[in-house]
């Protein structure tokens, strides 16, 4: 990973010492004068109380310390040092109201007092400045930590860009302009600011946008403090890794340009943003590739099913039809009827398989249109039983449904679910088994279940029972002609209705498939 901007080749200026740039305000000057006026009054009081000059000098040094604390920068503390010597000499030494003195050692006292005051004020100002810098560093460290944590949680490139710009606005206390790269072009700029200002809109003018596009195209920084478009209102940098550019960030120059430390922080944040965007893009590509691989696997399974599993019933139909055509007149009535039955069963099985294939394909592709209506469950169950395989005559099918149980559903699809569940029970249970269809109201839902008393399903294959093309290992003969689509389709249809297919063991043996549908209110017109 590399960006064209590094700390070594920066052109951002190095910020000078605070006492050159932090000029005192009028308030600071007034505070300084007030503090030393109070110190002079206290000194006069000490003289009346016959205190020594040492105590008075201490008062003025204390005044210098207080001045350093309550004012910004060094200037007021240094000025206060000279002012303290001036006031002490003018008001508190004999003869008063003059800069002359009768004492021989007073010039030395004044000099030592001046040096002490200057040193004291300078140290106090430095300590204050260091405390302020420490607070700023702690704040910036916290912001950088929060930025890294938020970028790790972000999933989309849009979210990553928003997090980056919001954190930079907090970090530098100024507006941030962002341009995202979409489909090989720079999108419209967006402004991020904690405090909206009227002049912020000037950062989105056509001239500023043109500079941002130049940065995107040339992969170089431009704008204020650079050699390109130096009259710009913002400093523009590309968010990129190698040759891949994900966007452009604009930082307004304002009155104070970024110093070297702030500039290095900016580059660090942009590098983190670029890395997060690159990871997000890789994740999206990986997800797309996974979907493509899944679709390819599904296509391969479908081709295998069509080419292999469907061949058997087609060959059976073709062979039986050929036998009827060639030797039909030589066959007795029972044999011909058996051949007709086999052809019908194979054709019905193929019809069901094709219906399931079409339905599950449309569901996966999102092309299946749902039509939800309010339906009585007893009528839905009755309609489903009319579509059950002809072999249901060999089984005992019981229905138990509450009166006036109204549920909201796509009736065509729910009928298909019930048909698949009952056909599955018929397919995997021996002849003569009992199949029970129940519909009852429970927990403000309409619960539908299909129960059988067959051999049941082993615990090993239960986690895979709803997977597409999973056929299990049942030894029932008819189960060999299963593509493993029925239960997978049932699960997809139930999920589209906001529910989930559940499987549990029946007592003493067998299994229960159940699902829930939303209830509808029954309105009786009397």
Domain limits, the chain: 18-136, 154-283, 310-365, 373-518
pTM above 0.85, yes or no: no
Which candidate, 504, 502, 496, 498, places its Cα nearest to that of 514? 502
- Specify whether the CB–CB gap between 63 and 40 falls below 8 A: no
Provide the pLDDT confidence category of residue 367 given band limits of 50, 70 and 90.
low
At residue 101, does pLDDT exceed 90?
A: no
For the structural domain made of 154-283, what CATH number should be given? 3.30.450.40
Q: Would you state the pLDDT for residue 19?
A: 39
CATH topology match: 154-283 vs 373-518? no
Strand, helix or coil at 174? coil
Q: Would you state the pLDDT for residue 20?
A: 41
> 105 versus 115: which is more confidently predicted?
115
Exposure of 240 in the CB half-sphere (CA atoms within 13 A): 20
Q: Which helix (H) or strand (E) holds 90?
A: helix 75-91
Q: Would you state the pLDDT for residue 4?
A: 44
Q: Would you state the pLDDT for residue 515?
A: 94
- What does DSSP assign to residue 91? H
For the structural domain made of 373-518, what CATH number should be given? 3.30.565.10
- Specify whether the CB–CB gap between 93 and 38 falls below 8 A: no
Condensed to tens digits (0 to 9), the pLDDT of residues 380-405 reads: 999 888 877 666 677 889 999 998 88
Q: Which helix (H) or strand (E) holds 276?
A: helix 260-304
> 101 versus 14: which is more confidently predicted?
101
């Amino acid at each position: 990973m590399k960006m064209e901007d590094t700390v070594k080749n920066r052109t951002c200026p190095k910020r000078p010492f605070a006492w050159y740039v932090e000029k005192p305000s009028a308030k600071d000057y007034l505070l300084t004068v007030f503090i030393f006026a109070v110190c002079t009054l206290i000194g006069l009081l000490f003289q009346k109380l016959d205190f020594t000059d040492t105590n008075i000098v201490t008062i003025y040094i204390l005044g210098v310390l207080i001045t350093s604390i309550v004012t910004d920068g060094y200037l007021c503390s240094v000025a206060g040092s000279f002012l303290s010597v001036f006031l002490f000499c003018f008001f508190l030494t004999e003869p008063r109201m003059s800069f002359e003195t009768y004492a021989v050692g007073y010039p030395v006292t004044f000099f030592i007092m001046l040096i002490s005051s200057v040193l004291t004020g300078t140290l106090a100002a430095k300590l204050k400045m260091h405390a302020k810098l420490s607070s700023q560093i702690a704040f910036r460290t916290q912001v950088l930590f929060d930025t890294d944590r938020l970028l790790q949680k972000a999933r989309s490139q849009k979210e990553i860009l928003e997090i980056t710009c919001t954190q930079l606005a907090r970090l530098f206390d100024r507006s941030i302009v962002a341009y995202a790269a979409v489909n090989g072009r720079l999108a419209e700029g967006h402004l991020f600011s904690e405090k909206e200002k009227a002049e912020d809109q000037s950062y989105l003018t056509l001239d500023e946008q043109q500079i941002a596009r130049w940065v995107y195209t040339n992969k170089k920084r431009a704008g204020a403090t650079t050699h390109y478009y130096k009259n710009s209102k913002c400093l523009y940098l590309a968010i990129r890794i190698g040759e891949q550019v994900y966007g452009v960030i604009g930082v307004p120059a304002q009155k104070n340009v970024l110093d070297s430390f702030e500039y290095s922080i900016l580059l660090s944040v942009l590098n983190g943003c670029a890395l997060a965007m690159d990871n997000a893009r890789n994740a999206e590509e990986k997800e797309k590739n996974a979907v493509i691989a899944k679709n390819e696997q599904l296509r391969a399974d479908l081709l295998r099913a069509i080419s292999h599993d469907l061949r058997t019933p087609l060959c059976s139909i073709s062979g039986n039809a050929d036998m009827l055509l060639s030797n039909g007149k030589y066959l007795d009535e029972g044999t011909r009827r058996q051949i007709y039955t086999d052809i019908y069963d194979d054709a019905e099985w193929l019809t069901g398989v094709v219906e399931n294939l079409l339905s599950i394909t449309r569901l996966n592709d999102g092309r299946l249109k749902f039509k939800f209506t309010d339906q009585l469950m007893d009528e839905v169950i009755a309609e489903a039983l009319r579509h059950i395989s002809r072999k249901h005559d060999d089984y005992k099918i019981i229905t138990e449904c509450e009166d006036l149980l109204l549920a909201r559903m796509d009736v065509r699809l729910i009928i298909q679910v019930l048909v698949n569940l009952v056909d599955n029970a018929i397919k995997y249970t021996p002849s003569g088994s009992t199949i029970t269809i129940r519909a009852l109201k429970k927990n403000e839902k309409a619960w539908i279940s299909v129960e059988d008393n067959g051999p049941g399903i082993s615990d090993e294959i239960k986690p895979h029972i709803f997977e597409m093309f999973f056929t299990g290992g049942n030894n029932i003969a008819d189960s060999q002609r299963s593509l493993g689509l029925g239960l997978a389709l049932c699960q997809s249809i139930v999920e589209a209705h906001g529910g989930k297919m559940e499987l549990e063991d029946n007592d003493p043996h067998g299994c229960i498939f159940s699902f829930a549908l939303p209830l509808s209110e029954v309105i009786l017109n009397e």
